[in-house]
Amino acid sequence: MKLSEKALEALAKHKYSGVDDSILAKLILSKYWNYCLKFVPITIAPNLITLTGTLCLVFTFITVGLYSPELEGTLPSWLYILCGLSLFFYQTMDNLDGKQARRTGTSSPLGQLFDHGCDSIVCTIQSLIVSSVGNYGIGYLTLIQLFTTALLPFWMATWEEYHTGTLYLGPINGPDEGIVIIVIILLTTGFIGPSFWTSKPIQVYGLSKYVPYQLSNLKLNELIVLSLSLPTVITIFANIRNVVQHLKRNNKPILPALKHILVWIIITGCTFVWYFCSTELYAEDSIWFSYVRIIQLSIGIIFGQLVSRLILAHMCHEKYNVLQTPLIPLIFATFVSFIQWYNQSEYVSEYFVLIMFVTLSFMHYFIFAKATIDQLCSFLKINCFTIPKQGEKTN
Active-site residues, by number, are 116
* Cβ-Cβ contacts under 8 Å for 227 (sequence gap 6 or more): none
Q: Indicate left, alpha or beta for 335 from its phi (over 0: left) and psi (-120 to 50: alpha).
A: alpha
For residue 19, give the H/E element and its range. strand 18-20
User: Phi and psi of 167, rounded to 5°?
Assistant: -90, 115
> For residue 326, how many other CB atoms are within 10 A of its CB?
22
Q: Please say whether the beta carbons of 154 and 119 come within 8 A.
A: yes
Rg for the chain (alpha carbons), in Å?
A: 22
Neighbours of 191 (CB within 10 A): 10
* Residue 19 region by backbone torsions, left for phi larger than 0, else alpha for psi between -120 and 50, else beta: beta
**Are 235 and 156 in contact, with CB atoms under 8 Å apart?**
yes
Please state, in angstroms and rounded to a whole number, the distance separating the CA atoms of residues 81 and 343: 47
